[in-house]
Amino acid sequence: MDPATYALCQKSVIGPAMWIASLCVFPPLFANVPFSLETEGTSISQEFSAPVDRKYNLTLTFDFPTTEDRLKDEIVGSRYEARCNDHVEDISPQIASGLGRKIPLRVVIRRNQDKSVVVEKDFVSWCVTSWGSKTKTRSVGWVELNQGEYIAEVINVAAQEGLGNVHTTVSLVPGGSGK
């Protein structure tokens, strides 16, 4: 998607027609990059291009060997709570049941051209945002980027035991209406 198409997709008259015609499809900036959470300090580095100025959502996807394994999992979590990633300190122990384990990550995004840092932030991913037959997805957090070329580095801050048979990936997606 280019900036002109993106701008038209936001218009109140032409935008809905463009969405219906699938002209406003916005692919991930990068998707399904393998990312092990079993070892503290593990990181991925990924080059990408942001086609327009907006907020993007960094996500983790957990692919379990079987549906039964996904259903038995207590590490990633089994339910969603609206305050999971924004207000973790406000969640009582009673509400926290079923949200899984907090997963702290450090995200550094640099401009590809001069390697200057545009985002350097610690996030805590907590609770699932969606699930499928053998998968669960979590939001890590939102990053605001201008159009341009970037390099993202995602660092695992703390080892997560118990995910040895779970294939974990990280993606950067446009998500929703740009939040």
Domain boundaries, the chain: 27-173
Looking at residue 95, its pLDDT comes to 76
Question: Comparing C-alpha atoms, which of 35, 26, 28, 29 is closest to residue 47?
Answer: 29
Report d(CA 139, CA 130) in Å as an integer: 9
Is residue 76 within 8 A of residue 136, CB to CB? The reply is yes
Query: Is 27-173 assigned to CATH 2.60.120.790?
Result: yes
Q: What pLDDT is attached to residue 24?
A: 62
pLDDT confidence of residue 176: 61
**Residue type for 34, please?**
P
Q: How would you write the pLDDT of the chain (179 residues) with one tens digit per residue?
A: 666 666 666 677 666 665 566 556 678 999 999 999 999 999 999 999 999 899 999 999 999 999 999 999 999 998 888 777 665 667 777 778 888 999 999 999 999 999 999 999 999 998 899 999 999 999 999 999 999 999 999 999 999 999 989 999 999 998 765 44
pLDDT score recorded for residue 17: 67
Instruction: Output the CA torsion sign for 79, 31, 11, 150.
Output: positive
Query: Do the beta carbons of residue 126 and residue 77 sit within 8 Å?
Result: yes
pTM here is: 0.84
**pLDDT confidence of residue 12:** 73
CB contact at 8 A, 45 and 151 = yes
Residue 45: count of CB within 10 angstroms of its CB: 12
